[in-house]
Structure formats: structure tokens, C-alpha cells
Amino acid sequence: MHELAITQNIVDIVLKEAPDRKVKNITIVIGELAGIIEDSVRFCFDLVAADTSVKGAALTFQRVPARIRCNQCDFEFKMDNGDWACPRCGNLGGQVIQGRECYVESIEVEDN
Amino acid sequence: MKVKIVKNILDANDQMALENKKFFDAAGVLAINIMASPGAGKTSLILKTIDLLGLPVAVIEGDIASSFDAEKVGAKRVPVVQINTGGACHLDAAMVRKAVKKLSLKGARLLFVENVGNLVCPADFKLGESAKVVVASVPEGDDKPYKYPGMFSAATAVVLNKIDTLPVIDFDMRRFKKGVHAVNAAAPLFEVSCKTGEGLDSWIEWLRKLAN
């Protein structure tokens, strides 16, 4: 539940990139393991963006599934439902190779 | 018009954490971020560690409200600053930066930063620490690594506190260890009781190695 801080950072990043442009859309990439709740960011966004030039911008979320490399057999697999067990050898656990992403990918601004 | 950005959302915090780290390096002090759920024994571990370590330390206490923890640490005649986040569920690098200005780090080798009790948010906010220690405790149950993989995977070391309660609590040690190992094969696990002192010797030894 640190989405307020997350959302404040999103707005700060966008305002820095486009201080004097009307922002129509913000695309945010969030990994499955980043622990960020889309609905909470949307809720916070209206509060944080009020009185700024990003007010009213749409938010597009691109979710990145988690991928794990098994500690035991090196098999790479997509994590299903938070399950760390390797589907090939059954070992529980591995390295996260994808799924912690948390960044502002791009913005769509009104043409000057 | 589309403008490509690709900027980490926590970049501002990461940058400030990096500055904090430089500041600590220059002061010759190693910061340790202590994270756990409320009541796991973060403060108890810090108090016991101060008694046993035999090295000069300083402490930053993070809580939503109150200064109970800072008073307990202050009673040990150790430099301490309390941060009250006023509702925020985690410490961030800016809070630590502000707190450290009020703290005498002179001679200190280790700086313990006790985070807000929470197994979710603190894992994502770097503070400038050299090690993250996650404290779990037996009464919380053996399922915590499975339920909070983000926190346990971020740990440099895991401390399991309150092992003196094992005889009266259904806690499957094998299941707990398996869960920690699944998300973090590298972190050492210290089984301790801050009440009886059991197991603290290997934790202290690990800290001494870290400080050297």
C-alpha cells in the first residue's frame, strides 16, 4: 500500500519530462512481482495530479508476467499464481529473471 | 505525440539512497536496514545486539507514531533518532537523510535503521543500506516467506526470532526454511531468541564480519 508514493513519483517523472505540455496518456510497465496495485494507483492519481498539467491523463498499464529460473535445473518458467515450484523438476525456488519492472515507459502529449 | 521515457518509478528514491550510501561510506559506517512485521522483535534484536556486539553503533528508529523505541535505545547510551512517518508505511531515503543529520555518527561502525513494521512496502525503498535484514518470528507462523516473497527475496540475511516459543506453537521449521530458500537461496538464516539469548552468537559473528 505505498501506491500514493508510487503515484507521486509517476506524476513527478512526467512533469519533469513534459513540464508545459498537455499529457493525454501515461504508459506504465508493472511486473507481476512489483507489488503495485493498478486500481490503487488510479485512485491516487486523481488526487496527486489535481492542479497539474497531467490532470485528466489516461493511465495505461502494461503488466509483465513473472519468469523464474529454477535453482536446481536452470529451467526457465512463467510463474503461475505465485507458485515458485519448477514445472520440470518440482524444486521450489529460483531467480526472478522478469517481473519486478516498475517504470514509466512513455507518455502521449498533445501536439504543439 | 508519443514521448519515450523509460524511467524507474522509484528512481528519485534510488538516487537519494545512493547519496546516503556515499555519505555512510565517507563516515566509515555501515547501514543495516532492519525490516519485519510489527511485533516480530526488531527493537529487541537491536537492543540485544547493542549489548553483545561490543562495537560503537547508532540507531534510527522508524515508526508511524510514538518514540517508545528511541527511548529504549537511548537508555543504552547509544546515539538514536526517532523518525515518525505520520502514517507512511515505510521509510524512504529522504527520511533517513533528514534523520541522519540529527545523529552523531562519530566513531560508529554500524547504523541500524529500524523500518516501519510492515512486510510489504519497505522492501521496495532503498535507504542507502549495505544490508537488509528481515526479522521473522515463530508466533507469526511458518508461512510468511510464501506470503511475502518480495520481502524475503530482498533480504541479505533473515533472523527468526522467538525460538523459545517453539515448544508451544505449531511452527514447521522445515516449511519455513524451504520457503526462505525458495525465494532467496543466498541469505543466511539465524534462529534466535532475544528473550533467552539463544542463537544470538552466530548473528553477532555475522555482523562483526560485515563491519570489518
B149 contact A CB<8A: yes
Angle (deg, nearest 10), helices B42-53 and B200-211:
70
Task: Answer yes or no: are the C-beta atoms of A15 and A85 closer than 8 Å.
Answer: no
Backbone phi, psi, residue A24, to 5°: -95, -35
* pLDDT one-digit tens code per residue, B26-83: 999 999 999 999 999 999 999 999 999 999 999 999 999 999 999 999 999 999 999 9
What residue type is assigned to position A30 of the chain? I
pLDDT of residue A112: 72
What residue type is assigned to position B84 of the chain? N
* Strands of chain B, DSSP E: 2-8, 30-36, 57-63, 80-84, 110-114, 131-137, 157-161, 189-191
> CA B164, B141, B184: angle at the middle one, nearest 5?
100
Q: Do B89 and A6 touch (CB under 8 A)?
A: no
Report residue B93's pLDDT band, with 50, 70 and 90 as the boundaries.
Answer: very high
Backbone phi, psi, residue B21, to 5°: -60, -45
pLDDT of residue B75: 96
What are B159's strand-pairing partners? B135, B190
Taking the complete model, does pTM exceed 0.95, yes or no? no
Cα separations in angstroms, B9 against A8, A50, A83, B38, B73: 9, 19, 26, 27, 35
* pLDDT one-digit tens code per residue, B15-29: 999 999 999 999 999
- Per residue in B185-205, is it b (16+ CB within 10 Å) or e — as a string? eebebbbbbbeeeebbeebbe
Query: Long-range contacts: B37-41, Cβ < 8 Å, 24+?
Result: B37/B117, B37/B118, B37/B119, B37/B136, B37/B140, B37/B144, B38/B117, B38/B118, B39/B117, B39/B137, B40/B117, B40/B135, B40/B136, B40/B137, B40/B140, B40/B161, B41/B135, B41/B137, B41/B161, B41/B162, B41/B194
CA distance A92 to chain B (A): 5
Cell of B196: 533467552
CB-CB neighbors (< 8 A) of A34 in chain B = 124
pLDDT of residue B177: 97
CB count in 10 Å sphere of residue A55: 14
| Under-70 pLDDT residues of chain A | 1
Task: Answer yes or no: are the C-beta atoms of A78 and A65 closer than 8 Å.
Answer: yes
Cell of B88: 507512511
B8 contact A CB<8A: yes
Could you say which of B92, B150, B181 has the minimum Cβ distance to residue A93?
Answer: B181
Q: What is the rounded average pLDDT of the residues B192-203?
A: 98
**CB within 8 A of A102, min separation 6: which ones?**
A6, A29, A30, A31, A34, A36, B8, B9, B10, B124
* Strands of B55-212, DSSP E: 57-63, 80-84, 110-114, 131-137, 157-161, 189-191
pLDDT of residue B21: 98
Average predicted confidence (pLDDT) for chain B = 96
Q: What is the rounded average pLDDT of the residues B152-159?
A: 97
* pLDDT one-digit tens code per residue, B108-155: 999 999 999 999 989 999 999 999 999 999 999 999 999 999 999 999
pLDDT of residue A1: 57
* Strands of A1-112, DSSP E: 23-31, 58-64, 67-70, 76-78, 94-98, 102-109
CA distance A104 to chain B (A): 5
Interface test with A, best of B1, B6, B9, B148 (most A CBs within 10 A): B9
